[in-house]
């Protein structure tokens, strides 16, 4: 199915620090989304809503339902809506923490006579998707993954995770326009330790750890990276105790 248009919504995902003010960050991100849509050559629909006022709390718990409600406003101009899946179909389950795990079930149930919802690339895990976008020129110019800023801060957990995945896939060097790679390489060793330490408890980190091992990515024994993570964690704790600033992570 070829894409004919793009969508960009404010449904509670542009206020990561829960300040009650999402307008500024949404406007900045929308400007970048429009630049990307223009580059690709597709029209962009945008929706700004007050859903966060009605459903406060962690965005991930209801993001599928929130985005689908905004997409339904576009019917019948848009007959089919492809929602970018975050979880492959074989991991489908009902999770109170993240609605992405239920996309394969939720999206068909949300379809109406006017609009049919589809899960995008449900057969690919996050590493396979990373490999796919690593060769896509518009992604190299416009990829935005940061939790906190309109431009990738390159230091938060989500930015570091995507940079590491791109590096494992062999494509990070092509993303200098969207990431500050110096930030990544400063954090690379301890962040690898973080991934290895918590891979058993977190599915995205488990996928990343598996991909690193399959690619023989790490040059040192795993215990070295784990120790670097714990030293970095101690360093962050000491800075907080001394009332010094630390990166949001």
Surface-to-core class of residue 158, CB atoms within 10 Å of its CB (0-12 exposed, 13-18 middle, 19+ buried): middle
pLDDT number for residue 51: 87
The whole-number average pLDDT for the span 53-73 is: 88
Residue 245 has pLDDT above 90, yes or no: no
pTM across the whole model = 0.92
- pLDDT band at residue 122 under the 50/70/90 scheme: confident
Judge whether residue 42 has pLDDT over 90: yes
For 76-112, write each residue's pLDDT tens digit: 899 999 998 888 888 888 888 888 888 988 999 999 9
> What pLDDT does 1 receive?
66
Q: Flag whether pLDDT at 59 surpasses 90.
A: no
Lowest mean pLDDT among 25-34, 52-61, 106-115, 167-176: 52-61
Report whether pLDDT(57) > 80. no
């Amino acid at each position: 199915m070829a894409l004919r248009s793009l969508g960009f919504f404010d449904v509670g995902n542009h206020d990561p620090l829960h300040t009650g003010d999402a307008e500024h960050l949404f406007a900045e991100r929308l400007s970048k989304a429009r630049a990307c849509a223009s580059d690709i050559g597709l029209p962009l629909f945008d929706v700004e809503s007050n859903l966060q006022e009605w459903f406060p709390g962690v965005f991930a718990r209801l993001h599928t339902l929130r985005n689908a409600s905004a997409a339904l406003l576009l019917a019948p101009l848009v007959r089919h809506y492809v929602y970018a899946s975050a979880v492959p179909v074989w991991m489908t389950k009902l999770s109170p923490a993240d609605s992405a795990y239920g996309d394969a079930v939720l999206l068909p149930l949300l379809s109406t006579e006017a609009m049919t919802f589809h899960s995008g690339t449900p057969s690919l895990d996050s590493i396979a998707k990373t490999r796919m976008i690593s060769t896509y020129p518009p992604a190299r110019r416009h990829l935005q993954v940061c939790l906190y800023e309109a431009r990738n801060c390159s230091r938060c957990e989500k930015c570091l995770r995507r940079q590491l995945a791109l590096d494992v896939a062999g494509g990070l060097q092509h993303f200098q326009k969207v990431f500050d790679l110096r930030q990544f390489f400063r954090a690379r060793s301890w962040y690898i330790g973080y991934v290895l330490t918590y891979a058993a408890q977190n599915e995205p980190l488990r996928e990343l750890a598996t991909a690193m091992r399959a690619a023989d990515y790490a040059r040192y024994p795993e215990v070295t990276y784990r120790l670097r993570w714990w030293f970095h964690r101690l360093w962050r704790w000491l800075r907080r105790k001394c009332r010094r600033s630390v990166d949001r992570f």
